[in-house]
Copies of this chain bind each other. A is one copy, B any other.
Amino acid sequence: MADRAQGPGPAGGRNRVTIRDVAGRAGVSVATVSRVLAGNYPTSAAARAKVLRAVKDLDYVIDGRARALAGTGPRTVAVIVMSVDSAFYATVAQGVEQEAAARGRLCMVCSHGGDEARELALVQMMREQRAEFVVLVGGAVENERYRARLTEYAHGLAAAGSRLVLCGRPAPGPDTPVLVVEYDNEAGAYAVVSHLLAAGHRDILYLGLLPGHTTVEPRIAGYRRALADHGLGPGAVRPAGRGLGRANGYAAMREILAECGGRPDFTAVFAGDDMVAAGAMAALREYGLSVPGDVSVVGYNNDFVAQDLNPPLTTVSIPAYELGREAVRLALAEEAADVPRGAAQSRHLLGTHIVLRQSVAPRR
């Protein structure tokens, strides 16, 4: 009652209905009501209809802390991304959401737009809301400041009974208590560059530099290893571009083609991601160069767009959706096994594979 008395806003007077009233009105058990409201499965359509009707009739507002104390009602899983409008982030978030839903959890996706203060505020909010676990998605530029921040998140969430889950990025340190679900970024790059080498290409540009970035560096490492394993010296390593994304890929390729007067001294491009490839291919077209006739292009991620690019893009498929689902499965498995939240980190690696389309031709 204290909670309600103190509750701000006009709702103060409207929170008197309890989950028991709803159960009574619906003629079902309290557990059924909480399952229905939590989206827990299975619940019969009939029971669900009765509960939703009763909730509406009584204008029931779930009381968060009462719920937390009673242990009823939906548990929540949080996903924190840089932005929600990238295919990779959205697909991972979708995977988390779907698996969380199947396990009767609600899922919240928040983005920080690269602002540290907002990222911290979001993590704090999730601690305070007792999110079961908090999934940080995607790569980041690693430096001391970053490692310190992530280490604080991990310990802070563990102290609050929650767990930090890193999806598609490495742990900030060997002893940080995090659950890490990654994909084999370096091996995917090795495979797709090897495919270009097998087609006879020797002058292969890497497009999409992002120094210190945990996603980009392994891709460049795989590219370097493939070139070396095919007997090409360090001189064959040709990194270019500033950052990922279509705009960067387009601008970088325009610049390169302007410098060489539209006569490139490379026959293939390994783009840091599919959007870089899309931008680079648009720039090549503008200079009257054909893909793959004049220049072969490969990407990374197998975005929605890859299959519809002109030509359809040979790229590396990363298990974005599975990353999200695995993150939830593994985090809940830890809970079921009563692994202490502050426990040493556990790391899981998912595989990648090439998708062959029409953007690569044998070297002329």
Contact = CB atoms under 8 A, between A and B. Distances in A.
A311 interface: yes
Contact of A90 (B84, B98, B106, B156): B84
A152 B120 contact: no
Interface string A6-24: 1011110010000000000
A116 B111 CA distance: 25
Contacts of A116: 52
* Oligomeric state, in copies: 2
In the complex, which of the residues A113, A125, A309 has the most CB atoms of chain B within 10 Å of its own CB atom? A125
Interface class of chain A by DSSP = helix
A98 B110 CA distance: 11
Interface in A215-254: 246
Nearest to A120: B52
A160 interface: yes
A118 to B, nearest CB: 4
Contacts of A55: 120, 124
A156 B39 contact: no
A176 interface: no
A279 B51 CA distance: 41
A361 interface: no
A333 interface: no
Contacts of A118: 39, 101, 106
Interface in A47-96: 48, 52, 55-56, 59-65, 68-69, 74, 76, 83-85, 87, 90-91, 93-94
Contact of A97 (B111, B120, B127): B111
Interface of A: 2-3, 6, 8-11, 14, 36-39, 43, 48, 52, 55-56, 59-65, 68-69, 74, 76, 83-85, 87, 90-91, 93-94, 97-98, 101, 106-111, 113, 115-118, 120-122, 124-125, 127-130, 148, 152, 155-156, 159-161, 246, 278, 281-282, 304-305, 307-311, 341
24 contacts: A6-B69, A10-B161, A11-B127, A14-B160, A37-B124, A39-B115, A48-B117, A56-B152, A59-B152, A60-B124, A61-B127, A64-B128, A65-B65, A74-B121, A84-B94, A85-B93, A106-B125, A129-B129, A246-B304, A281-B308, A282-B307, A282-B308, A310-B310, A310-B311
